[in-house]
């Protein structure tokens, strides 16, 4: 579950990310992590001490948005084909000139469920 991932990150990298922005990217395991698990991880990054945490826009996320349009129908105030195209063509990304101060790696296959 997403909460297991963020709890593990908090325990393993305690203090490593204080006042940093976190981008969960690059690893295949991130790309296969379900959209239903990503919000728990991103939302709890502030409890880890970060300023923000985000996942890159990918096909899995765009497919989820498209399913939302099908479910809610046209005219939804936040989910529309126009908004999806906007996100697809202008995704939020790190600046190409950014310098990463840290690069943390966690093998998700080594995690087990946590109790909190």
Token code pair at residue 45: 């990054």
Q: Any idea where the domains of the chain sit in the sequence?
A: 1-56+96-116, 57-92
- pTM, two decimals, is 0.76
Number of H helices, E strands in the chain: 5, 2
pLDDT along the chain (116 residues), means of 10: 86 88 79 85 91 88 86 79 90 81 84 74
Token pair 């963020």 in the structure block, residue? 6
Rounded to 10°, the helix 81-89/59-72 angle is: 170
Residue 27: per-residue pLDDT: 66
């Amino acid at each position: 579950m997403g909460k297991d991932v963020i709890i593990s990150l908090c325990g393993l990298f305690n203090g490593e990310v204080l006042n940093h922005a976190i981008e969960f990217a690059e690893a295949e395991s991130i790309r296969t992590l379900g959209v239903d698990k990503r919000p728990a991880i991103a939302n709890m990054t502030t409890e880890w001490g970060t300023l923000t945490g985000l996942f890159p826009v990918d096909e899995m996320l765009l497919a989820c948005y498209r399913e939302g349009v099908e479910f809610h129908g046209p005219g939804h105030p936040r989910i529309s084909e126009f908004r999806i195209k906007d996100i697809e063509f202008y995704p939020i990304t790190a600046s190409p000139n950014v310098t990463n101060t840290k690069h943390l790696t966690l093998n998700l296959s080594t995690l087990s469920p946590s109790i909190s």
